[in-house]
Amino acid sequence: MTDFKRISPEQAQALRSQGGVVVDIRDTHSYANGHIAGSSHLDNHSLPDFIAAADLDQPLIVTCYHGHSSQSAAAYLAHQGFSDVYSLDGGFELWRQTYPDQIETGEPT
């Protein structure tokens, strides 16, 4: 059974530079007010399309507010067939402190 790993913002940044995908599971309003540059918003509505279109072997980094909810979501995605899944320790809040220049705003597309 595949599982997820916990990852620091620094490790996540390195994975992003190697093609890792970031998904943000926070509510739409929070995502719109600021999210990791290049991340996708993932919720119950977008999940089926995301899974159908995803490369299951590409590293996948899941973020939430503080790194707690993302662990459950990462475990779920690992069980959906993603082979390399990570939960971002400290979530978006720690990322924002660590990489303030890597934040975008705007509604999910």
Annotated catalytic sites, by residue?
Answer: 64
Strands 85-88 vs 4-7: parallel, antiparallel or unpaired: parallel
d(CA 17, CA 39): 13
Burial of 91 by CB count in 10 Å (0-12 exposed, 13-18 middle, 19+ buried)? buried
The span from the CA of 95 to the CA of 82, in Å, is 23
